[in-house]
Amino acid sequence: MNETAQDQDTGFHTEDMTISVGPQHPSTHGVLRFVVKTDGEVISEAIPDVGYLHRSIEKIGEKVTWHGYVPYTDRADYLAAMFANQVFCMAAEKLAGTPVTRRGEFCRVIACELNRLASHLISVGTFGQDIGAMTPFVHALRERETINNLMEEICGARLTYNYIRIGGVGYDILPETCTRISEFLDHFEPIVDEFNRLLTGNKIFIERLAGIAVVSKEDALQYNLVGPNLRGAGIKWDIRRDIPYSVYPELEFEIPVGTGHIGALGDSFDRYWVRIRELQESCKIVRQCLKMLPKGPAISKVARKFKPAAGECYVRVEAPRGDMGFYVISDGSEYPYRVRIRTGSYTAMSIIDKLSKGIMLADLIVLIGSLDVDAPEIDR
Amino acid sequence: MQAYLDQLIQGGAFAGMPREVVYAIGMLLAAFIVLSAFVAPLAGVTSWLERRVWARMQSRVGPNRVGPQGILQWLADGIKNLLKEDIIPTAADKKLFSLAPYIVFMGFLCAFVVIPFGGHLIVADLNIGILYILAVTSLVVVGILMAGWASNNKWSLLGGMRSAAQIISYEIPAGVSVLMIVFLAGTLSMQGIIKGQGWAPWDWYLFHNPFTFAGFFLYFTAALAEGNRTPFDIPEAESELVAGYVTEYSGMRFLFFFFAEWGNLYVIGAVATTLFLGGWQVPPLAIFENSPMLLAVAQFVTFFLKAYLWVFVAMWIRATLPRVRVDQLMSLCWKYMVPLSFICLLGTVAFMFVPADGQRITSAAMFGLGVAITIIFFLRVGFQIRQAKPELYFKPHI
Amino acid sequence: MGVASYIKDITDTVKSVFEGMSITFSHLVRRPMTIQYPDKIPVPIQETLPLRYRGILEVDLDICTGCLACERVCPITCITIGIDMNKETKQRDFSHFDIDICKCMYCGLCSEVCPTGSIRHSQEFEGASYNPAGLVRHFAPQPASLYKPKKGGETDPKLAVKVDIGQKYLDEFATPDGGAAAEEK
């Protein structure tokens, strides 16, 4: 509807309302802020305001040792700490030429994929909650709690793992833990189906998601969307397959992409559906790794005083929120010279302004949830 | 009520007092008893029960510390809210802001005047009973709109506006569904509608014909929307509007809104029971003929259980469904529910010309359908449990 | 909007609501997940934690060699150790050994570098205090002497027990050889 024309017809003077969504708002997943201009409920502009969770993680990297920086990378994205661990360690290994033991690589993949499960569960669960379905949220968190318990067994922490170290992993995965992981997967896969029956198949849920905030392929590339957001737009791009690292080339898994079978290609439902299918794919990967887990040491010999050769490198992994990259410069000293972190949520934030024009306030919440932006990852 | 007071006056209990004063005192007393002995504990316990039911559906435990199994949680919450600071924002319209909770509260409380508790237990059996309920429950929208406007907060305003649009729209399918039963019963009186039905399920208006069967669900959906319950809780949608029209409220005023919400649940259930589920009708057993007291208790229990079943269903729906968007809410109402309710109304009117034998057969068939749906439902529950292979735990407490 | 899609919308809604409600209803007979910490649990929660759990740091000063490896490796400098020369005994003593639990991020690096397993993560996590100063753990309230590992094993039976505990912790928690230890089992 043309608002100005209506104004001329009725003679009423109308003006936009400016609302501050956040930084303390129930569905901004941390501390995001949007300055939203609305006409009633219809948004004309939503400007993201970032920086509420800035912790100078990049600068800290210049002040602590290579080994000591690993626990800090946990905090870059606390929902998926394992990936930041891994990518920093990969960067350090690349600079120093440190080999990673084979068992270490498998332990890394197991831990990372479990962490991906946990992160995606949070994502789809809170997405349900944003739309008003409380029960799926708690069910997702219930499953995540089991994953956290497994993580506690593997590495002793539930959220900030500091598990992946330069040269391998800190602690070996014990055989009894392997059994418990496969027991969990047996229990988890039917639960994903149940989750789909409860939430994904729900007509109200579909109506809320389908056709909302459609990202075209061009936009996805232009705005540099990564991970499930990019795949939701129908582009088959996954670092695990396209720039292979670790032992992923040996594993069989599919890369789910958005199909647009409900609504339009690249809408919120596609992004959500990619995540749900990635849950199932991650289960498959963990199962394969448990089967293939070789014997041997979990970490190779690395000097306590780790001093990689001077140089620089950029390493990326496929984190739950997409391509996570660390650009690390070494000057040959005990400390990294510069660390730069590239995360998926930051670019996902930038497209919100474009997508939010003309949608309703309730849809903005859907949009934020479907892009799975995560405040700690944006600000670092 | 009036008849009973007349009896007392004739017996000389209130010698020297004008009749009107006696009536007024009687009415106030009745209101006080209903409010303090029934409505307040009911709303409170409903809030506790909702949290427990909800928790179990979410694999949690829920409040279980205050009193046995947490049953006094509502008292603790109430006291906490009473002791909290009552904040009125500086920019708020103070008079309207203070008044709004009471109007909402009054809107739902007035409905209890005509809600029957048993065959003779009713504050006033108005001959326009159901019309009166539709009228006074609309008062809630005034209160909510007032709260939204007076808070001088954009979230509150959006919430208030949403609520106004929603409640006014859903009056229509609710009203038309009620009209169906009024046609069948030929009366607007609550007791009259109940007396038009029998104790047996196949004598209920729910199973009278396919149209009333559908009309019941239309009524229940519309009533949920009027009561701002999920999936229609958009006025206070906490993930969108922070807390909607209650954003700026605190302490006792805040409590009043939720008191009204949980009390309103019972009103929804009670009206549904009256209209469709045979109200307080009990089987004509021999023991009831001898003892009117026992009969009253049985009627009260029957009515209460039937009404509370729908309170439970509302909790259950809230635990299951996501929330609709505001424009979808409107299209659901105007595109789906309003046409369907009119079809049901016409169908019911047409059905009144079916001979009595045909009506009996239809009732039996509809009752069979209801039973079949219930059986299918429980089979499906069994399927869900087999799929997930959870650890079973049948006790209600933990 | 055709009649078919209109009817399909209605049936889809009814079906999916029915399905969802059957799932939530089935949860009424499933066991809740909640652990009713801290009182309604069969065993203290600390006992149920896995061996590798990284709780509040504890130090067994009797077997601490004063090598300062933990102080150096700590990325957040929450460990401060002071070592003085005792003028009477002509030996080096701890003047203080403080761990600031406020700062600690439970990364586990200190307990891994410890040669004797003297500094280690306990299963304890309940460390509430009324002020930040209360969260600084002083492990050497009085000056204490450093531990000197003896060649050929510890002879003092009291210390031998503690050395064994430390070694066991090192073996089980920080397993640098990874799979080898598990393989032997």
Q: Where are the domains of chain A?
A: 4-48, 55-368
Residue to mutate among B61, B232, B338, B341, with most C CBs inside 10 A, is B61
Separation between Cα atoms, residue B340 and residue B234, nearest integer Å: 23
pLDDT category, B315, cuts 50, 70, 90?
A: confident
Query: How much is the pLDDT for A356?
Result: 84
Is pLDDT of B49 > 60? yes
Of the pLDDT bands very low, low, confident and very high (cuts 50, 70, 90), residue B372 is: very high
Which residues of chain A make contact with C49, given a CB cutoff of 8 A? 152
Length of chain A, in residues: 380
pLDDT at B375: 92
Mean pLDDT, chain A, whole residue set: 85
Q: Which fold has domain C47-179?
A: Alpha-Beta Plaits (3.30.70)
Question: Do A198 and C181 count as a contact with CB atoms less than 8 A apart?
Answer: no
Question: Using 50, 70 and 90 to split pLDDT, how confident is the model at B129?
Answer: confident
**Tens of pLDDT along B66-112?**
878 888 888 888 888 888 888 888 888 888 888 888 888 888 888 88
How many CB atoms within 10 Å of residue A305? Answer: 10
Give residues 37 to 66 of C whose Cβ lies within 8 Å of A.
49-50, 52-54
pLDDT of B124 > 80? The answer is no
Ordered by start, the domain boundaries in chain B are 1-74, 84-353
Cβ contact A22:A349 at 8 Å:
no
The hierarchical CATH code for the domain A55-368 is: 1.10.645.10
**Is the CB of C31 less than 8 angstroms away from the CB of B391?**
yes
* Closest residue of chain B to C26, computed from CA coordinates: B381
Q: Test A160 with C17 for CB contact under 8 angstroms.
A: no
SS3 A250: helix
The minimal CB distance from B239 to the residues A129, A142, A199 is found for: A129
Task: Kindly compute the dihedral angle of the four CA atoms of residues B105, B110, B116, B122, in this order, to the nearest 10 degrees.
Answer: 120
Q: What is the pLDDT of residues A171-229, one digit of tens each?
A: 888 888 888 898 898 888 888 888 888 888 888 888 888 888 888 888 888 888 888 88
Q: Tell me the CA end-to-end span of chain B in Å, nearest whole number.
A: 44
Q: How is residue B363 written in tokens?
A: 């009732």
Query: Do the Cβ atoms of A95 and A328 come closer than 8 Å?
Result: yes
Per-residue b or e along B69-89, where b marks 16 or more CB atoms closer than 10 Å to that residue's CB: bbbbbbeebbeebeeeeeebb
How confident is the model at residue B130, as a pLDDT? 86
- Tell me phi and psi for residue A360, to 5 degrees: -90, 165
Closest partner residue to A171 (CB to CB) among C9, C19, C52 is C52
Q: Does residue C157 register a pLDDT over 80?
A: no
pLDDT over 80 (residue B13) = no
Is pLDDT at A1 greater than 50 in this prediction? no
The pTM of the full predicted model, rounded to 2 decimals, is: 0.86
Q: Given a cut of 80, is residue B353 above it in pLDDT?
A: yes
Best of A134, A187, A206, A269 to disrupt the B interface (most B CBs within 10 Å) is A134
Which of A163, A141, A96 minimizes the C-alpha distance to A303? A96
**pLDDT above 70 for A44:** yes
* A-C Cβ pairs (cutoff 8 Å, strict): 107
CB contact under 8 A, A138 and B59: yes
pLDDT, tens digit, 9 for 90 and up, residues B229-249: 878 887 777 777 888 888 888
A324: β partners: A317
Residue C184's pLDDT band (cuts 50, 70, 90): very low
The percentage of residues in chain A with a pLDDT greater than 90, rounded to a whole number, is: 1
d(CA B80, CA C59): 44
Confidence of residue C175 (pLDDT cuts 50, 70, 90): low
Q: Per the CB < 8 Å rule, is C23 touching B320?
A: yes
**Closest Cα in chain C to B384:** C23
What whole-number distance in Å separates Cα of residue A326 and Cα of residue A328? 6
Average pLDDT over residues B320-346: 88
Taking only the tens place, the pLDDT of each residue in A96-150 is: 888 888 888 888 898 989 999 999 998 888 888 888 888 888 889 988 989 998 8
Is C27–B393 a contact, with Cβ atoms under 8 angstroms apart? no
Question: Chains meeting A at 3+ CB pairs closer than 8 A?
Answer: B, C
pLDDT reading at B165 higher than 70: yes
User: Is there a contact between A135 and B319 if contact means CB atoms under 8 Å apart?
Assistant: yes
Q: What is the pLDDT of residues A265-309, one digit of tens each?
A: 888 888 888 999 898 888 988 988 888 888 877 787 777 778 888
- Burial grade of A351 (CB within 10 A; 0-12, 13-18, 19 or more): buried
Residues A335-346 have a mean pLDDT of 87
For chain C, give every domain's residue range. 1-33, 47-179
Residue C144 has pLDDT above 50, yes or no: yes
Q: Which residues, including other chains, have CB under 8 Å from residue A8's CB and lie 6 or more apart?
A: none
Q: Tell if the CB–CB gap between C23 and B384 is shorter than 8 Å.
A: yes
Residue B250 pLDDT > 50, yes or no? yes
Mean pLDDT of C90-113: 84
Structure tokens given for B197: 């039905």
Average pLDDT, chain B: 83
A→B contacts (Cβ < 8 Å), by residue, are 17, 19, 25-27, 40-41, 128-135, 138-139, 142, 187, 190-191, 193-194, 197-199, 202, 204-205, 207-208, 360-363, 365
